[in-house]
Amino acid sequence: MTPSQLRARYRRIIFFFARVTAGFIVWEIILPRVGLSAWSDRTRSRRYTAIAARFRALAIRMGGLMIKVGQFLSARLDVLPAEITDALSGLQDEVPAETYAAISAQAQAELGLPLADHYAWIDETPLAAASLGQVHRAKLREGDASECGFTDVVVKVQRPHIEQIVEVDLSALRRVGSWLERYKPVADRADVPALVEEFAATSRAEIDYIAEAGNAEHFATTFQDDPRIHVPRVVWDLTSRRVLTLEDVSAIKLTDYDAITAAGIDRGEVAQVLLGAYMQQIFDDGFFHADPHPGNIFVTPLPDAPEGWPTWQLTFVDFGMVGRMPDNLREGLRELLIAVGTQDASRLIQAYRTLDVLLPRANTQLLERASMQLFERFWGKSMAELKEIDHAEMARFAMQFRELMLDMPFQLPNNLLLLGRTVAILSGMCTGLEPEFNLWTSLAPYATELIESEGGGAGSNWDMWLAEGTRILQQVIALPGKADRVLGAVERGELNVQTPMLELRVRRLERAVGRATGAIVFAALLLAGAVVRGSDPELARWLMGASVAPLLWVMLGGRGHGPRG
């Protein structure tokens, strides 16, 4: 691409986000602070939906990293409204295909010879066209086929100029990130520059096909003793940084439910094997396939399987996007899984701390009570049962928890982004395979296994239970003192009962009253100045000048002054 084309691309991205940012400032900051919050609230859902639709169209038109950005944003449930995350959640990495001549020229520059000289046959019509690369079916020459043990392959070739495009897109995203860093609700919940750099590292890794081939071999080693999992083999002689040749393992797509059933395969069993494969990747290996969309996982029937072997396999492809689990993340997720499996809200809070998803000012008591309510009402229900719950009740619970999340100081560390997106997609795929799939009961055996293996041995298990017993005993011993303090507070009329929603509403009411008061003072001074302008210009100027103070207070003040947790 020419420098002028790259500059135009950069300007288009910057202009889009500048327009969104300007609109946000006007609608969400300025208008509510001059008494027009009702107008802002009434149009919010429609505006956010329109923004997501415009971005989706931009991403598909431009390709490059924009589709990856959309997928990344769809996982940011902690800082983005549901209208945007929902609209972007289904964004697929599919763009118009490059011409075969352009792809062939790119491959020839990388391998040294035309594709026709390396393969016995290659399909000029792409099997898949993504934003960073394009895939074609091919057949190996006889010598290569006999050496590898298979003939059918897929050839993945980078799009021309993709490295330049990626760097331009990253440069634009860094500029946008510098804007977001100045907005406190976002800055409090995420290290924006670090997120951009993490996204940059992930994106660069996706266009290094040597690294992707290494990831595929890592997964093959991880599951080499599991006949239920298959990973395509790499043809290293026909693989480079921009060209990747893999065994063709195309089979039934994971979302082709009718074909899976027609092959005599139990879809519920497929869901359990899929979940088990990810539990092993996350908790045992600490290295997981981070792009589990339906086109990257197949169900492969094995009609000629030997006696005692499974009659089907799960086949994973596309290892460009992978996640790695640092020790604190793996330990925190172990705690989280155990807490959910045992319905232990207190342990859930401890897991949040280990995962570093709570800022220091978090009111953990409110969060623990909200978690207990969710456990009491929804724990153990399948997705089908959850769908039968009264919509109004679901809306009340969802709103209560969502508002608590938005109001309390949560943050999402960088290393949780890929995992969060992966687990969200995985949950949807399991439910799609089996509508009665119960994630809670499916996780319970893994939680039990983690509890039993916690500490690494019987002695350590005894230490764990002894520590837990000591904690409970300390709580029992402390009960009389706590009861005495509570009764004393009741007698003195000092008992303070906290509820998450009540405190949130009180704080919002305090801020709203403060802003309304400021707006009234501003309007009164301004109106008084206008009235006396003709008879006393000096007083009018003084009154109008004084109105600036309450206006600034309305626009810039009134934040964070309510009681915090």
> Domain limits of the chain?
3-91+164-204, 256-454, 460-495, 500-556
Record: fold of 500-556: 1.20.5
Residue 293 corresponds to which amino acid?
Answer: H
Distance from the Cα of residue 505 to its chain's centroid: 28
CA angle 552, 553, 554 (to 5 degrees): 90
What the block records as the tokens of 194 is: 């670090």
Query: Quick check: helix, strand or coil at residue 250?
Result: coil
CA dihedral 444, 445, 447, 450 (to 10 degrees): 180
What is the per-residue pLDDT across 545-558, written as a single tens digit (0 to 9) for each? 666 665 555 555 54
CA angle 341, 347, 351 (to 5 degrees): 95
Higher pLDDT, 429 or 240: 240
What is the per-residue pLDDT across 300-352, written as a single tens digit (0 to 9) for each? 999 888 888 899 999 999 998 888 888 888 888 888 888 877 788 888 888 88
Residue 41: pLDDT band by 50, 70, 90 thresholds? confident
Picking from 209, 211, 204, 203, the residue whose alpha carbon sits closest to that of residue 239 is: 209
Q: Tell me, what's the pLDDT at 300?
A: 96
DSSP 516-550: HHHHHHHHHHHHHHHHHTTT-HHHHHHHHHHTHHH
Asked whether the beta carbons of 66 and 99 are under 8 A apart, the reply is no
What is the per-residue pLDDT across 243-267, written as a single tens digit (0 to 9) for each? 999 999 999 999 899 999 999 999 9
Least trusted range by pLDDT, from 80-94, 108-122, 452-466, 527-541:
452-466
Q: Tell me, what's the pLDDT at 240?
A: 94
> Does 189 score more than 70 pLDDT?
no
pLDDT winner (highest mean) among 190-199, 414-423, 475-484: 190-199
pLDDT winner (highest mean) among 72-76, 204-208, 411-415, 499-503: 204-208
Q: How far is CA 27 from CA 131, 181, 250, in A?
A: 33, 19, 49
What is the per-residue pLDDT across 202-239, written as a single tens digit (0 to 9) for each? 888 889 999 999 999 999 999 999 999 999 999 999 99
